[in-house]
A and B are shown apart, each in its own frame.
Chain A
Amino acid sequence: MTTIQISVFLENKSGRLAELTHALAEGGINIRALSLAETIDYGVLRLLVDKPKEARSVLAKAGFTVTETEVIAVEMPDQPGGLAGIVNLVTRRGLNIEYLYAFVGQRGQNAIVIFRIDDAPAAIAALQEGGAHVLSAAELSGI
């Protein structure tokens, strides 16, 4: 039930992000969601794409440092308190969230939140037991 996320190590050099997006466009890869974390010297770009395998090889070929990470995509009500409810399901079990980011998808009235949690199976169980809908990779690429 996890989703493959593509993470790219990017130095803070002008034009680097443009090169990356260009490489994805050339490769016919569609970005579904992304988040960028940065320090003064470098950043990590995290991407959900429609074709992770192709995306990885396209980026590697273009000279980027790429890794795959398993993340969990969960639906949440697109309303005040929506994220709080979902986060609570995970943290009350003592699971540590490494990072998360959200996007408002086109899936009914719901938004989607992406979690990176070390113990993914436990997190998925916690979410499902709490009544949250964890999206499969297929569902996600269907958005």
Chain B
Amino acid sequence: MDVAALRALQSERLREVVRRAYQNVPYYKQKLDDAGVKPADIKSIDDITRLPFTSKDDLRDTYPFGMFAVPMEQVIRLHASSGTTGKSTVVGYTRQDIATWAEVMARTLAAGGTHQGDVVQNSYGYGLFTGGLGAHYGAELIGASVIPTSGGQTKRQLQILQDFRSTVLCCTPSYALVLAESAKDVGLDFQDLPLRVGFFGAEPWSATMRQEIESALHVDALDIYGLSEIIGPGVSFECLQKGGLHINEDHFYPEIINPETGQQVPDGQPGEIVFTTLTKEALPLLRFRVRDLTQLLAEPCPCGRTIRRMRRVTGRSDDMLIIRGVNVFPSQIEEVLMGIEETTPNYLLVVDRKPRGMDELEVQVEVSEETFSDEMSRLEALSSRIQNEIENTLALRVSVRLVEPKTLERSMGKAKRVIDRRDLGK
């Protein structure tokens, strides 16, 4: 599709989605009225900057279904992000939305050469998390043979890789390295396997990690990007050129803004990415602030696709961490700790990625002077209680380290709560 035709399509779809959001979502009607914008003001895609932003807070304020634009009878699927109810975001899909999702994921997988006859081992988690089912429907639409292994059970995954002759792998990049490491332990050489390409996403990774995965697994390792609010995986994808991620911008219109001012910046300049869902029925989002930092690349890709690309995400404009595909806000951990009287609300999160391993989150917690017990069994029980309560809230297993009171750094005003030791640079 040439760029002019694409812009015309985007303009038409934007008018339509703004009209639907305004008519069917009272929250959006209010928001647009407050901003002094009428759907009729939106004539072309360039008018998008007149629209107010949507944030995760909006979804939280309207939890669970307050921003749905269709009656529940038309919603055939619900997914949710992890988190306490207050922080969790719920997303819904109509039958058409599920078809759109399958379409954009099929494009994603096809860009890496996936075709009918391929055996796709899908090791993204199935469940409330969008990764598993998103990749599943895309691969089925292509007509590939899908193995819904879901995450975990590494030995079994390796067995299936061997026995089912999987040619395509979908999982998080850190899990790809776990597979590589375990394969070594059992004497399995990926060179002897027909595995050809891997689609790795749901967490940030680096070019160094790509090299590691490619040399260990003997595959093309492609970055895929998505988030449940917009649709799940399938928002953008790398082609085999590996020069940035093509955005399915006929469905998800991207903008880059200056996170401080909210002003749109031209293609090529770094900033925070914002998406508008042009076709989503159940949960249309206008100018959703993702908080991921990247830039748009407008120049044509050697692969021939005319849709724009975004650079690999280099960071975030808020304090959200992504650990093994789970979104973690430090404030969620704080809330858990506030509920445990034996600790002080002072904590430090240390994120690390062991060489060839998964991301690990260590929560350092100060024991409180008033309630510290000198019985080891009680201290151990306290650690595991913290660990379990965090797991209940985030659906993420963390390690807990008790530290002496007043040892965690306190700066004037905002304390430093996070140390990220992962190498997520270029």
Contacts and interface: CB of A to CB of B under 8 A. Distances in A.
Instruction: Determine if chain A interacts with chain B.
Output: yes
B380 A98 contact: no
A103 interface: no
A10 interface: yes
Given A9-B367, A39-B380, A65-B367, A116 B375 contact: yes
B374 interface: yes
Contacts of A41: 401-403
Contact of B404 (A10, A39, A46): A10
Given A39-B380, A44-B379, A67 B404 contact: no
Contacts of A10: 404
B403 A42 contact: yes
A44 B376 contact: yes
Contacts of B367: 9, 65
Nearest to A46: B374
Interface residues of A, number: 20
B376 A65 contact: no
A12 B367 CA distance: 14
B405 interface: yes
Interface string A51-83: 000000000000111110100000000000000
A65 B374 contact: no
A67 B380 contact: no
Contact of A11 (B379, B380, B404): B404
Contacts of B380: 39
A69 B405 contact: no
A99 B404 contact: no
A11 B403 CA distance: 6
B403 A67 contact: no
B372 interface: yes
A67 B405 contact: no
Nearest to A118: B375
B346 to A, nearest CB: 13
A98 B401 contact: no
Interface in A9-40: 9-11, 37, 39
A97 to B, nearest CB: 11
B375 A98 contact: yes
Nearest to A66: B369
B407 interface: yes
A11 B374 contact: no
B406 interface: yes
A67 B369 CA distance: 7
Nearest to A10: B404
Nearest to B362: A41
B407 A11 contact: yes
Interface of B: 367, 369, 372-377, 379-380, 401-407
Given A10-B404, A37-B376, 13 more contacts: A7-B374, A9-B367, A9-B402, A39-B376, A39-B380, A44-B374, A44-B375, A44-B379, A46-B374, A63-B404, A65-B405, A67-B369, A116-B375
